């Protein structure tokens, strides 16, 4: 995934060291950024990224400004052409500049819990190396069709949109050929696009607490890697789900995953293992 990416998109050892260096040498903060390429500005009480960040240009590989009050992102963000990780979760962004599309090396973009962020720019398609996109807790009503151009995307989280605003997923989602995890719980989605069936590497589909009444047979039949589909708190009945074409194959994969967890000696608590589908759903009719 690239030298500075940690496990599951978290901070790597190099990043942690970079953040520690920033704290230790506050007087030479910019020099430290220049040396490491890692900008640590978590909980820094910022309303905007400092100009010094943009002056780093192609030196910067990681910018972490989580948990501030940043309300706007300068078009100068496009000057960070080597940026691989951009953490802007828990801020106050309402829009994103088109210049973000110039950060073509981005592999992780975290915009979680920017409660006023209601739309994404179409230029998102330019982020061809993006692997993780975190949009949980924003205010998105829809995703742009350009999302389908992100062929390297492995994890997409659009759960918990403000006011459960997200009502649908675009058909273009089927273009995300490497997607393994699609999280869209706690929204108002009624129909899962048939195009999800094109996602051959999809392992986890979480649509808990939406308005789904059925699942297309194409999803269960064609998503050969699918092991977990969370349909808790949806109107769909168990009777309808088990009659979906491809259900038998999905159930076999789910049980195989369950058996592997047991064989591995995992400690199972009441919520430690989701078996894929809630069994005590209301009966059909």
Judge contact between 223 and 196, C-beta under 8 A.
Answer: yes
Residues 92 and 209 in one domain: no
Residues 167 and 253 in one domain: yes
pLDDT tens-digit map of 64-118: 999 999 999 999 999 999 999 999 999 999 999 999 999 999 999 999 999 999 9
pTM: 0.84
Q: How far apart are CA 9 and CA 81, in angstroms?
A: 19
Q: Residue 279: pLDDT above 50?
A: no
Q: Average pLDDT, stretch 223-237?
A: 94
Provide the CA 124 distance to its chain's centre, in angstroms. Answer: 14
Residue 204 lies in a domain: yes
Q: How far apart are CA 114 and CA 57, in angstroms?
A: 25
Q: Residue 240, SS3?
A: helix
pLDDT value of position 18: 52
The CATH number of residue 15's host domain is: 3.80.10.10
Residues 16 and 106 in one domain: yes
Tally of domains within the chain: 2
Q: Residue 51: pLDDT above 60?
A: yes
What DSSP designation does 182 have?
E
Residue 68 lies in a domain: yes
Residues 110 and 194 in one domain: no
Provide the CA 89 distance to its chain's centre, in angstroms. Answer: 12
Q: Residue 214: pLDDT above 80?
A: yes
pLDDT tens-digit map of 149-169: 999 999 999 999 999 999 999
**Which residues does residue 181 pair with via DSSP β-bridges, in sequence order?**
155, 204
Residue 146 lies in a domain: no
Residues 172 and 239 in one domain: yes
Q: How far apart are CA 129 and CA 44, in angstroms?
A: 29
Q: What does the angle CA 196 – CA 199 – CA 203 come to, to the nearest 5 degrees?
A: 100
Q: Where is the domain boundary, 51, 82, 117?
A: 117
pLDDT value of position 257: 76
**Exposed, middle or buried: residue 161 (CB in 10 Å: 0-12, 13-18, 19+)?**
buried
Q: Residue 282: pLDDT above 50?
A: no
Query: At 190, is the pLDDT very low, low, confident or very high (cuts 50, 70, 90)?
Result: very high
Range of the structural domain that residue 218 is part of:
160-263+273-285
Q: Average pLDDT, stretch 191-201?
A: 97
- In 3D space, the residue among 270, 269, 231 whose CA is nearest the CA of residue 250 turns out to be 231
Q: What does the angle CA 109 – CA 115 – CA 119 come to, to the nearest 5 degrees?
A: 65
Residues 81 and 174 in one domain: no
Residue 9 lies in a domain: yes
């Amino acid at each position: 995934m690239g030298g500075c990416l940690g496990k599951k998109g978290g901070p790597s050892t190099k990043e942690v060291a970079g953040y520690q260096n920033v704290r230790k040498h506050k007087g030479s903060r910019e020099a430290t950024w220049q040396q490491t390429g890692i900008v640590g500005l978590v909980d820094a009480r910022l309303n905007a990224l400092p100009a010094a960040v943009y002056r780093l240009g192609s030196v910067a590989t990681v910018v972490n400004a989580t948990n501030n009050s940043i309300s706007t992102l300068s078009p100068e963000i496009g000057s960070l052409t080597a940026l691989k990780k951009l953490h802007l979760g828990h801020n106050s962004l309402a829009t994103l500049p088109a210049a973000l599309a110039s950060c073509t090396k981005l592999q992780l973009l975290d915009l979680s819990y920017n409660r006023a962020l209601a739309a994404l720019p179409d230029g998102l398609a330019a982020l061809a190396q993006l692997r993780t996109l975190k949009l949980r807790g924003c205010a998105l009503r829809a995703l742009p069709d350009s999302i389908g151009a992100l062929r390297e995307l492995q994890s997409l989280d659009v759960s918990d949109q403000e006011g459960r605003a997200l009502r649908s997923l675009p058909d273009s989602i089927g273009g995300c050929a490497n997607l393994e995890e699609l999280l869209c719980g706690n929204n108002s989605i009624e129909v899962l696009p048939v195009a999800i069936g094109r996602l051959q590497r999809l392992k986890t589909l979480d649509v808990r607490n939406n308005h789904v009444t059925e699942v297309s047979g194409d999803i269960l039949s064609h998503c050969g890697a699918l092991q977990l589909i969370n349909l808790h708190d949806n109107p769909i009945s168990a009777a309808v789900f088990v009659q979906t074409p491809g259900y038998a194959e999905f159930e076999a994969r789910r049980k195989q995953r369950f058996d592997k967890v047991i064989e591995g000696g995992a400690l199972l608590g009441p919520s430690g293992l989701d078996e894929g589908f809630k069994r005590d759903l209301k009966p059909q009719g």
